[in-house]
Structure 1
Amino acid sequence: MARPRKPLLSRDRIVETASALVDAEGLAALSTRRLAAQLGVSGPSLYNHFRTKDEILDAVADAVSAKVDLSMFDEDDGRDWRTALQAWAASYRAALADHPNIVPVLAQGPGRRPAGLRVADAVFGAMVRAGWPPAQATYIGALMRYFVTGSALGSFARGFVDDETAYDPADYPHLGQAHLLAEHRQKVDEGAFDTGLRALLDGLSLQYAAGVRGAWAKQETTSGA
């Protein structure tokens, strides 16, 4: 039998198939045996491209990170740090919202994943260029990852059942409309994200203004002395 002109497998094909499986059925559904069956190959064939299932999951997670827009952090973009951070957070959340089942892997941090590291590098570099001290820039990167991944891990609105008899006013006098939340999931979850993001940025803006007024300058003078 003649050999196929193109190989049956490639890293990209494996990652795309694994991503679709995780999206549809969750992390627990992914196994090398299941993935190989979906690809129509034998299990050992996968090891020509990935040594372990964890490497495959890393690649799936990194493919999601690669979808996050980083253009707002380009030095010639012209946006101030707050506007850039807001635009990036929205892009970050959108990428995660499209692939919520992989978020627990992303929440562990970038590790050695190239796209994830580019995200971390872009955020840190932009904050330092804007005048944030390196330690504060690190905190901001961590804070934003906590906030965005946390918002993508689950839906507040879906945490309530749509049965109007489920929340007895005698027990929960303020949850009379809670059964309607699931019906308005997107509006509630997006509104909560936008509200939280504005609150974070407002707080950071106050810190930034205070630092510019003298705290950071004083630290630099002290360290220089």
Structure 2
Amino acid sequence: MAAAADRDTKRPARMSVWLDGKAASRGRRAGGDQPSGLDRERITSATVRLLDAEGLAKFSMRRLAAELDVTAMSLYWYVDSKDDLLELASDAVAGELVLPDPDADPDADWRDQLRDLTQGYRALLVRHPWLSPLVGHFLNIGPNWVALSLCVQRLIRRTGLPPERQAGGIAAVFQFVYGFGTIEGHFRKRCAEAGLTQDEYFAHAMGAVGGRAELAPVMDAAREMVEARSGETVDDMRDHDFTSAVDLLIAGIEARTVR
């Protein structure tokens, strides 16, 4: 059973769970003596809970089976590998995003819709720190990721960018959000592991950096920025930076739109 439970580590990588036709069904086979009380939705939900609680590095089929109080072999009625579960979990949390309908209201401001969507994506990455490495690992063609992709494409078309610049506009905005949300999620996790608030951790780090002579040029160069944000919490600074960056990206899009 141990060999079977670990078989996902020996299988050749495939493109996506969504391309082999199994993701649309609730189990690998219809009928038979498949385990009672299990279905793909329950397994996926448990996967998300474990990833949120323990992180990507500790996740395993055995750990998931223990969480569900079943044998690891039972899980293979519904998925072929751990990667399948991770891909299903990634798509499941992508469904938490509230997507605007860019074409529903011709008078809706695409700028406001873009700001709302970037904030939602950032929050998603922070809420589920395990998500960002999976976004880069899989094709992201599950139903919820596809819905997001279509929404983004329709929204960017509304900006007036010519077709040859639209992919660049998407990359500029959403790869920025991906990076920002990933770093924010990691910082929050590090603070929690250290048993410190974000402000305590930041103050400790700045004090340590400030005492190093070789880092003095960096600190001196940043002094004006630091003084301008005096009194702000880490959350305040981060929110201000994110909003300012998105506004700059929107201004850049506006500068390149077809008038």
TM-score, normalised by the number of residues in structure 1: 0.77
Preserved contact between residue 66 and residue 115 of structure 1 (Cα < 8 Å): yes
Decide which of 62, 74, 97 is 1:68's aligned counterpart.
97
Question: Are 2:215 and 1:172 aligned?
Answer: yes
* Alignment-derived partner of residue 41 in structure 1: 70
Decide which of 189, 196, 202 is 2:238's aligned counterpart.
189
Preserved contact between residue 87 and residue 138 of structure 2 (Cα < 8 Å): no
Alignment of 1:19-168 (within 5 A): 19-76=48-105, 78-108=107-137, 110-155=139-184, 162=204, 164-168=207-211
Distance in 1 separating the partners of 2:245 and 2:139: 24
* Stretch moving more, 143-152 or 100-109: 100-109
Preserved contact between residue 23 and residue 101 of structure 1 (Cα < 8 Å): yes
Q: Deviations over 1:26-54 (max 9, x none)?
A: 11111111111111101111122211111
| Residues 34, 161 of structure 1: alpha-carbon distance in 2 compared, 3 angstrom cutoff | farther
Distance in 1 separating the partners of 2:138 and 2:77: 26
| Residues 152, 170 of structure 1: alpha-carbon distance in 2 compared, 3 angstrom cutoff | same
Letter in 2 for 1:203: G
Distance in 2 separating the partners of 1:141 and 1:99: 22
Q: CA deviation at 1:72?
A: 4.4
Preserved contact between residue 102 and residue 158 of structure 2 (Cα < 8 Å): no
| Residues 53, 135 of structure 1: alpha-carbon distance in 2 compared, 3 angstrom cutoff | farther
Aligned with 2:181: secondary structure? Answer: helix
Q: What are structure 2's unaligned runs of at least 5 residues?
A: 1-34, 192-200
Letter in 2 for 1:195: S
Q: Deviations over 1:48-77 (max 9, x none)?
A: 221111111111111121111112424326
Preserved contact between residue 114 and residue 155 of structure 2 (Cα < 8 Å): no
* Stretch moving more, 149-158 or 22-31: 149-158
* Alignment-derived partner of residue 250 in structure 2: 201
Percent of matched pairs sharing the same residue: 29
Distance in 2 separating the partners of 1:114 and 1:93: 20
| Residues 82, 66 of structure 1: alpha-carbon distance in 2 compared, 3 angstrom cutoff | same
Q: Which of 1 and 2 has higher RCO (CA within 8 Å, sep 6+)?
A: 2
Preserved contact between residue 101 and residue 151 of structure 2 (Cα < 8 Å): no
